């Protein structure tokens, strides 16, 4: 039985290129490879949906799925992945930046049984590339570097559209990001499962914003956030500590600012110390559960919150005691408060990782799930 490649095409206001895109995808069908094309119209405001339905009416391999409300590329892919039935699944943007002929080469490691996922790289190919935005290229390389630091992979282009998976692999992964954060998220989750990842060079005919390019600066910042969020839990302890020190710097700044404001408003030192610490503790919980230890089953349970409150109370007593001692040693109130915060990054990290979020924390020596070979 010949293998089937399912191609998911997320589509939002791409009426100018959708027909040509589908034609190019259909052109890679062959006697030893069948195609399934799933177009996910993400509530387009132009006539993309009408064109997609016309294509589905004309070609039996084309199906159309729709969103009533625009949700973003990641959401469209999440929907598309649920509807595919082929042996392998590829992502194809509805514009004409990527050449579907490259998908044939990306399939080779999958067909040979050597890979669970293959990513196309715009930075490995010796083929022709349209020359466009320097800062986009620099940003892509930076994001790829940061992703590699956390995943311990040596990829060259995590932001590439072209990703091909074994169907059972991609359907087993929960996609949480609605927009372009899908790219770093899926790389993180593939790495977390220790799946076999290959990379191959592809051509690239990028388009300008005037031609319809949609990704922007906020998507770059979101990608950086996603790299930390989806990788930190499985990163080596030293990287987890580095992330927590960053969180602690934010929390400490809020704590110190709250203390200073309370003192300006006339609050007593005990009240200002306790109130500022409580405010920082709330922000710290939000950052820890939302970034360093992403929300999973049990992470935001009553038990987790109770443990956090208990640890925070112990920390509050320590913070209060240190502040009073430093005041007694002759430091000013703001100096005493600032110095009292210095031991907390390391102490808090140990307490949160080992006591509060212990079921969500995992060191690099611990096995990841699923085990190697589960999808083979």
* pLDDT averaged over every residue in the chain: 86
- My answer on whether omega of the bond before 97 falls inside 30° of 0, hence cis, is no
Lowest mean pLDDT of 68-82, 202-216, 340-354, name the range: 202-216
How much is the pLDDT for 214?
58
Q: Are 227 and 153 in contact (CB under 8 A)?
A: no
Q: Give buried/exposed letters for 259-274 (b at 16+ CB in 10 A, else e).
A: bbebbeeebebeebbb
Q: Which CATH entry fits the domain spanning 4-234: 3.40.50.620, 1.10.3720.10, 3.90.550.10, 3.40.50.720?
A: 3.90.550.10
Residue 24, classified by CB atoms within 10 Å of its CB into exposed (0-12), middle (13-18) or buried (19+), is middle
Provide the pLDDT for residue 370: 45
Question: Are the C-beta atoms of residues 242 and 227 closer than 8 Å to each other?
Answer: no
DSSP of 165-186, one letter per residue? EEHHHHHTSPP--SSTTHHHHH
Query: Which pair of tokens denotes residue 56?
Result: 């589905």
Which of 64, 21, 60 lies closest to 41, judged by CA? 64
Question: Residue 229: its pLDDT value, please?
Answer: 86
pTM, two decimals, is: 0.78
Confidence bin at 371 (pLDDT 50/70/90): very low
Most confident of the ranges 163-167, 260-264, 284-288: 163-167
Say whether pLDDT at 285 is over 70. yes
Is residue 361 within 8 Å of 300, Cβ to Cβ?
A: no
Mean pLDDT of 240-269: 90
Task: Report the pLDDT value the prediction gives residue 207, as an integer from 0 to 100.
Answer: 56
For the chain, give every domain's residue range. Answer: 4-234, 237-356
Counted residue by residue, the chain has a size of: 376
Contacting residues for 77 by C-beta, under 8 A, at least 6 apart = 8, 10, 40, 91, 175, 182
The three-class DSSP label of residue 10 is: strand
Are the C-beta atoms of 149 and 188 separated by less than 8 Å?
no
pLDDT at residue 376 greater than cutoff 60: no
What is the average per-residue pLDDT within 50-77?
A: 96
pLDDT tens for each residue of 148-159: 999 999 999 999
pLDDT top residue among 315 and 81:
81
Q: Is residue 373 a contact partner of residue 199, using CB atoms and an 8 Å limit?
A: no
């Amino acid at each position: 039985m010949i293998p089937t490649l399912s191609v998911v095409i997320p589509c939002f206001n791409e009426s100018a290129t959708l027909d040509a895109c589908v034609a190019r995808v259909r052109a890679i069908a062959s006697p030893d490879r069948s195609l399934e094309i799933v177009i996910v119209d993400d509530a387009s405001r132009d006539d993309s949906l009408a064109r997609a339905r016309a294509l589905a009416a004309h070609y039996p391999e084309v199906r159309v799925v729709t969103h009533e409300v625009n949700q973003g590329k990641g959401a469209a892919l999440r929907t598309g992945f649920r509807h595919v039935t082929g042996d392998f699944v590829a992502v194809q943007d509805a514009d004409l930046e990527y050449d579907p002929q490259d998908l044939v080469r990306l399939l080779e490691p999958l067909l040979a049984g050597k890979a669970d996922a293959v990513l196309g790289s715009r930075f490995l190919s010796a083929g022709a590339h349209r020359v466009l935005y320097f800062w986009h290229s620099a940003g892509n390389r930076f994001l790829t570097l940061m992703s590699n630091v956390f995943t311990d992979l040596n990829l060259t282009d995590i932001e590439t559209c072209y990703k091909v998976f074994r169907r059972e692999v991609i359907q087993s992964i929960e996609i949480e990001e609605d927009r372009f954060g899908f790219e770093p998220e899926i790389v993180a989750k593939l790495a977390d499962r220790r799946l076999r990842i290959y990379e191959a060079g592809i051509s690239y005919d990028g388009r300008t914003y005037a031609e319809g390019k949609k990704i922007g600066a906020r998507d770059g910042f979101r990608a950086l956030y996603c790299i930390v969020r989806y990788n930190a839990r499985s990163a080596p302890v030293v990287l987890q500590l580095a992330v927590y020190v960053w969180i602690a710097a934010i929390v400490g700044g809020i704590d110190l600012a709250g203390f200073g404001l309370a003192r300006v408003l006339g609050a007593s030192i005990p009240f200002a110390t306790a109130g500022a610490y409580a405010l920082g503790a709330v922000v710290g919980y939000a950052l820890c559960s939302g970034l360093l230890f992403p929300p999973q089953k049990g992470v935001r349970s009553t038990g987790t919150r109770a443990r956090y409150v208990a640890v925070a109370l112990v920390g509050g007593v320590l913070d209060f005691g240190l502040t009073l001692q430093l005041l007694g040693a002759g430091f000013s109130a703001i100096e005493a408060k600032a110095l009292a915060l210095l031991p907390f990054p390391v102490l808090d990290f140990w307490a949160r990782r080992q006591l509060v979020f212990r079921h969500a924390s995992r060191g690099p020596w611990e096995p990841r799930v699923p085990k190697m070979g589960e999808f083979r």
